[in-house]
Amino acid sequence: MKNSQLYKGSLNTIVMKLLEENGRMYGYEITQKVKEITSGDLKITEGALYPALHKLEAEGILEVEVENVDNRLRKYYKLTEKGTTETVNRLTELEDFIRNMQSLVQPKLDTI
Amino acid sequence: MKLSKENISQIDKALFKKFGVFYYDVRLEIVDHLASELEQMEGDFEEILPVFLNNKSDFIKETNLQLNNEGSRRSKIVLFKNIFSIKYLLTFIVVVFITYNLISLKGKEWFLEYFDFMPIILPAPISIFLFYEIFSSKRNSYILPFAGITNTILMTYPFIFIHIIRKADNFYCVSIFSFFMTLALAYYYMYFFSVRQHFKENNLLKL
């Protein structure tokens, strides 16, 4: 991910949000989607993506479907029922965080 | 560029030979990622592949390491969940009951003469089966840690605990023997109904 500590804690939430919007996705597709949405400004560190996906899967937030695509097997990840609820919670948490940070960094905007 | 079955197999072999990606379930994920990226490129596959793999070296090594750790972590969780389960406790109680009655009826000497190595003999077939699976081409990342940890616990029996139960009184003898006997019995159950089931649910055994 972009070389900043600010983004590192958000990888799981980003993945969950993308899966909520797109139904099911595979690893490479997730990296490309993030790149596309942020116009290349934010790049997911590929080495961190798969461990994050596996951890979310172990926590029961994601489930896996395996398909044969273009001469190889592909693992698609999608949100479970628990994952869908958890995504809403994490996004609310993230929005609160952004709002609080904005109040701290740009307090003048709040007073206008 | 479009990748053929041979191209995919070449990537798979390179991951195993060059980068030591030992487990099939880990390779599967990395192969798809690399193949998807290669498909976005233009040029000759044979020329591009070595340079591409060198550029991706950090990603491959990091993902392999992290996913191996994750496989190992999951195996341990499944193993310890089973050991601290009600099923395990009930089996332990049944084994204690049988062992206690056998010792009461026939005596400790007789029991040890015929049964002291049972917790090691009983799991031997599953250990051989798992050993075969480790060396098969479709070994998964959970097999080695699961077999390794279970066998390590079982191996403390012939090296440490068997000497203790030979000297200890009946209470300790029955308890220690029953624990290892239960583990030996549970080894089969844990592998076929817990560990495999866990990975089946994640579609990894269908491959």
pLDDT at residue A4 in the model: 59
B32 closest CB neighbour out of A55, A65, A72: A72
Asked if A51 contacts B67 with a C-beta cutoff of 8 angstroms, the reply is yes
pLDDT digits (tens, 9 = 90+) for A4-59: 566 667 889 999 999 999 999 999 999 999 888 887 777 777 888 999 998 898 88
Q: Does residue B45 share a domain with residue B77?
A: no
- Asked whether residue B39 is assigned to any structural domain, the reply reads yes
Is B46 in the same domain as B147?
Answer: no
Percent of chain B clearing pLDDT 90 (strictly above): 56
For residues B94 and B122, state if they share a domain. yes
Q: Which residue of A has its CA nearest to B37?
A: A28
CA distance A73 to B1: 18
Residue B207 lies in a domain: no
Tens-place pLDDT, residues B149-160: 889 999 999 999
- Whether B96 and B31 share a structural domain: no
Q: Is residue B195 over pLDDT 70?
A: no
Same domain, residue pair B153 and B87: yes
Q: Are the Cβ atoms of A47 and B37 closer than 8 angstroms?
A: no
Mean pLDDT of A85-106: 88
Q: Are residues B10 and B82 in the same domain?
A: no
| Residue A72: its H or E element | strand A72-79
- Count of C-beta atoms within a 10 Å radius of residue B186: 22
Residue B64 is assigned to a structural domain of this protein: no
Q: Is the ipTM of this complex over 0.95?
A: no
Residues of chain A contacting B29 with CB distance shorter than 8 Å: 27, 50, 75
Instruction: For an interface test with A, give the residue of B2, B19, B55, B62 to mutate (most A CBs within 10 A).
Output: B62
- B12 pLDDT exceeds 90? yes
Q: Are residues B112 and B190 in the same domain?
A: yes
Q: What's the confidence (pLDDT) of residue B206?
A: 47
Domains of chain A by range and CATH? 5-111 (1.10.10.10)
Are A70 and B3 an interchain contact pair (Cβ–Cβ within 8 Å)? yes
Which residues on neighbouring strands pair with residue A24, listed in sequence order?
Answer: A78
Domain count, chain B: 2
Residues B29 and B105 in one domain: no
The answer on B128 and B51 residing in a single domain is no
- pLDDT digit string, tens, across residues B69-124: 988 888 888 888 888 999 999 999 999 999 999 999 999 889 989 998 999 999 99
Q: Both tokens of residue B127?
A: 């250990």
Residue B62 is assigned to a structural domain of this protein? no
Are B51 and B82 contained in the same domain? no
Say if residues B187 and B4 touch (Cβ distance below 8 Å): no
Degrees to nearest 5, angle at CA A35 with B51 and A4: 90
Closest by CA position to A49, among listed A65, A68, A62, A66: A62
pTM as predicted = 0.80
What is the mean predicted confidence (pLDDT) over B159-172? 89
Structural domain boundaries enclosing B23: 5-55
Same domain? For B197 and B114 the reply is yes
pLDDT bucket at B58, cuts 50 / 70 / 90: very high
Q: For residue range B168-188, what is the model confidence (pLDDT) as tens digits?
A: 888 889 999 999 999 999 888
- Tell me which of B8 and A105 has the higher pLDDT: B8
